[in-house]
Amino acid sequence: MTRPIFTALLSLAFLGGDAAAQQPRTREMNDLNWMEFQELVPSRVDTVLLPVGTLEPHGVANNGADNTAPLAIARSIAGRVNALIAPVLPYGITGSLDGYAGAFQISEPAYRAFVGDLLKGLARQGFRNIIVINGHGGPQTAILNELAERTGREHRARTLVVNWWSYCSDITLKIFGEDGGHAGWNENAFIQAIDPKLIQRERYSDALATARPPAGSWSAYPFPSSIILYQPGQGYVKFDQAKADAYFLAVNDKVAKLVAETIAKWDAARIFR
């Protein structure tokens, strides 16, 4: 080997080393090709964020708010926790709001089978840490928890399911000075921060909201409002952009910290290494 060629190869190797330290071209699994994916997973990126939600009414926000929110969280935190972002799963177990226009309901057996296969697929791709960012509550949460635990056990993967609005209820109280609700001030604000065009403010009135009934007191199908206040008299939507933006940032920070700390603790305990 002549010296110039050797030098050229050496510098190529260094270039390769630099390239390896660079950020991925994109963190969206939708937008990577198979060769790029192979170079990244799992050697450079072993964490995936899976945003899941559903289509259901959300007051004056978009029916897909439960998809918009977790996808935005994933995009905001993926670089900080060195993760790829799986395509959002936009259909879910909607529950008592499925009678509203544009809402969809996936049956529980179908959802379990599909999400189970989806999580298994992520584990088989080599992701060690599978982080489900859930945008929708009700029975969907318990099912996700159970499927994530089962996938972890069967495939030696480490799984975390985050219900962002619930995990960040302290931030709701801090920023808005009151509790929120389904499609209430907090959730509406989160969407407003992502894209104000998704909020139809001129259609809003407080009459669109109903307080969540105390446990065991009454239930109605379909629920008479899509804005469901956690506490009577709190969470009516106001459209304060500055508070919305502050809420968005604080929620993303708190979720990013939870994901990073959980992975660090798994690593320290050498779980499934």
Write down the least CB distance from residue 191 to Zn ion, Å: 9
Write down the least CB distance from residue 206 to Zn ion, Å: 18
Distance CA 133, CA 73 (A): 8
Interacting residue ranges for Zn ion, rule: CB under 5 A: 65-66
How far out from the chain centre does Cα 60 lie? 21
Q: For the chain, percent helix, then strand, then coil, each to nearest 5?
A: 50, 10, 40
Distance CA 173, CA 206 (A): 20
Residue 159 or 226 having the CB closest to Zn ion: 226
Beta-strand relationship, 129-134 and 227-229: unpaired
Q: Which residue is at the shortest CB distance from Zn ion? A: 66
Write down the least CB distance from residue 60 to Zn ion, Å: 13
Residue 46 or 66 having the CB closest to Zn ion: 66
Residue 65 or 119 having the CB closest to Zn ion: 65
Write down the least CB distance from residue 118 to Zn ion, Å: 21
Distance CA 196, CA 205 (A): 17
Write down the least CB distance from residue 146 to Zn ion, Å: 21
142 within 8 A of 150, measured Cβ to Cβ: no
Distance CA 256, CA 80 (A): 7
Number of helical (H) and strand (E) elements in the chain, helices listed first: 9, 7
Residue 66 or 98 having the CB closest to Zn ion: 66
Residue 21 or 101 having the CB closest to Zn ion: 101
DSSP letter, residue 87: P
